[in-house]
């Protein structure tokens, strides 16, 4: 099944960045908009979709009950 690019909201990223993800990838934010990241090409990269889904699901689970404007501290653990 082919997806019509014209109907895709994210097609401007592909046009601007000259990059299109393969079937195992998706567009991802370097800094999530939730944390102040912008909807700009320089904040977007191509990521394996399974990795992106796990990451964003974890962020959602930890932030879903926070009120608007809440302060969030991000700790990176190896």
Q: What tens digit of pLDDT does each residue of 41-65 get?
A: 889 889 999 999 999 999 999 999 9
Q: Domain range spanning residue 43?
A: 9-62
Asked whether residue 55 is assigned to any structural domain, the reply reads yes
- Mean pLDDT of the chain, nearest integer: 80
Asked whether residue 70 is assigned to any structural domain, the reply reads no
Asked whether residue 1 is assigned to any structural domain, the reply reads no
User: E-assigned strands of the chain?
Assistant: 25-29, 44-48
pTM of the model: 0.68
Q: What's the alpha-carbon Rg for the chain, to the nearest Å?
A: 15
Question: What are the backbone dihedrals phi and psi of residue 14, each rounded to the nearest 5 degrees, phi first?
Answer: -65, -40
Asked whether residue 77 is assigned to any structural domain, the reply reads no
Asked whether residue 52 is assigned to any structural domain, the reply reads yes
Predicted local confidence at residue 13, as pLDDT: 59
Helix (H, G, I), strand (E, B) or coil at 13: helix
Predicted local confidence at residue 17, as pLDDT: 63
Q: Is the pLDDT of residue 26 over 70?
A: yes
Asked whether residue 40 is assigned to any structural domain, the reply reads yes
Which one has a higher pLDDT value, 12 or 58? 58
Residues linked to residue 29 through DSSP beta bridges, in sequence order: 44
Number of domains comprising the chain: 1
Asked whether residue 17 is assigned to any structural domain, the reply reads yes
Asked whether residue 73 is assigned to any structural domain, the reply reads no
């Amino acid at each position: 099944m082919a997806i019509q690019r014209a109907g895709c909201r994210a097609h401007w990223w592909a046009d601007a960045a000259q990059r299109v993800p393969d079937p195992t990838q998706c567009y991802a934010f370097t800094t999530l908009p939730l944390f102040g990241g912008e909807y700009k090409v320089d904040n977007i990269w191509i990521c394996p979709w399974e990795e992106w889904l796990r990451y964003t699901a974890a962020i959602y689970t930890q932030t879903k009950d926070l009120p608007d404007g809440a302060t969030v501290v991000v700790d990176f653990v190896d």
